[in-house]
Amino acid sequence: MDLFSKQENILPFEVPDKDGYSWQWNEELSGFDIQVPNGELFYSEYFFNEKVSARSVEYFLENDSGLLQDANWRELKEGRLETVKFKNIKWRHDKLQMYGKEVYLPRYSAWYGDSDKPYTYSGLTLQPNDWNEGLEYIKNEIEKTVDIKFNSVLMNWYRDGEDYINWHTDAEKELGVNPVIGSVNFGATRDFVIRRNDDNSEKIKIPLKNGTLLIMKGELQHHWEHSAPKRKKVKDLRFNLTFRKIDH
Ligand SMILES: O=C(O)CCC(=O)C(=O)O
């Protein structure tokens, strides 16, 4: 093994040096298989190349107003997202009830999938939009690394580092016993953090970059929570897509 391939095969983030944690380079899939207590991950830092990643960002944003990646999306006032006519993705700015008040989520989102697979989260039942060419391409590429077929995807758009997603698990009943979640990132690098349910100090901070794929599997959703916290220094937008398999 030469020096370069050796360097390439070192996990680019830290996992605790303790029993139950290990990782190996997976040559066939060009990524790392990572074991944590009660869970497994697969991390491929540059799963999608720059060209595909840039095209994905463009595809998600294409709209009749000509606003692209460098637009100041933060300036779009709350409730004004629908004034932009997106060509490929039906972005929404959902509201949730909090302490008797309606508040906008700190991100935009969209839900795509097979038409017979509605999904319920935080009390909302969402009817998915139909697959399109761009999302099907991404889904097919990710499916080459897992032995399941995904039938839905939740898309999150973080306008900048002020947008975030709080601690949660993807353990809804309709995802089955040990869900396999395929998470892909486009745009700005953001930290994705996992922490154990029973010991919140046990954390792993995983940088998700432009084109990175992270697969979560095994019992992970039952023993670990995850979040993408605020990162105020991040000024650029970022998309995260989590592919899932819903079983009713
Ligand atoms: O943006 C991310 O990296 C996380 C998204 C997520 O946790 C989710 O969609 O459930």
3-state secondary structure 76-111: CCCCCHHHCCECCCCCECCEEEECCEEEECCCEEEE
Question: Residue 52: which H helix or E strand, with range?
Answer: helix 50-61
List, in order, residues 6 or more apart from 92 with CB less than 8 Å away.
81, 108, 109, 110
Gap from CA of 2 to ligand 1 centroid (Å): 36
Q: What are phi and psi of 139, to 5 degrees?
A: -60, -45
Q: Which ligand 1 atom is the nearest neighbour of the CA of 154?
A: 9
Calculate the alpha carbon distances from 76 to 84, 156, 172 in Å: 10, 17, 32
> For residue 148, what pLDDT is reported?
95
> For residue 125, what pLDDT is reported?
76
Q: Which ligand 1 atom is the nearest neighbour of the CA of 226?
A: 7
Q: Which ligand 1 atom is the nearest neighbour of the CA of 208?
A: 3
> For residue 123, what pLDDT is reported?
66
Ligand 1: residue whose CA is nearest its atom 4: 228
CB atoms within 10 A of CB 246: 20
Give the rounded distance of the alpha carbon of 143 from its chain centre: 15
- Pocket (CB within 6 angstroms of ligand 1): 154, 156, 165, 170, 183, 192, 208, 226, 228, 240, 242
Sequence letter at residue 101: K
Q: What is the rounded CA–CA span in Å between residue 148 and residue 245?
A: 8
| Best CA proximity match to 76, nearest among 98, 61, 96, 55 | 61
> For residue 1, what pLDDT is reported?
47
Q: Which ligand 1 atom is the nearest neighbour of the CA of 238?
A: 1
pTM for the full predicted model: 0.94
> For residue 205, what pLDDT is reported?
98
Q: Which one of 3.20.20.70, 2.60.120.590, 3.30.1330.10, 3.30.70.20 gives the CATH number of domain 21-244? A: 2.60.120.590
| Best CA proximity match to 59, nearest among 137, 1, 117 | 137
Gap from CA of 170 to ligand 1 centroid (Å): 9
> For residue 96, what pLDDT is reported?
85
Q: For residue 35, list its beta bridge partners.
A: 22, 40
Q: What is the chain's pLDDT, residue by residue, as a tens digit (248 residues)?
A: 455 554 568 999 999 999 999 999 999 999 999 999 999 999 999 999 999 999 999 999 999 998 889 999 999 988 889 999 999 999 999 988 888 999 999 999 999 999 888 877 666 677 899 999 999 999 999 999 999 999 999 999 999 999 999 999 998 888 889 999 999 999 999 999 999 999 999 999 999 999 999 999 999 999 999 999 999 999 999 999 999 999 87
Enter the tokens of residue 113.
């999938």
- Of 109, 192, 238, 244, which is best to mutate to test ligand 1, by the most ligand atoms within 8 angstroms of its C-beta? 192
Cα–Cα–Cα angle for 107, 111, 112, nearest 5°?
145
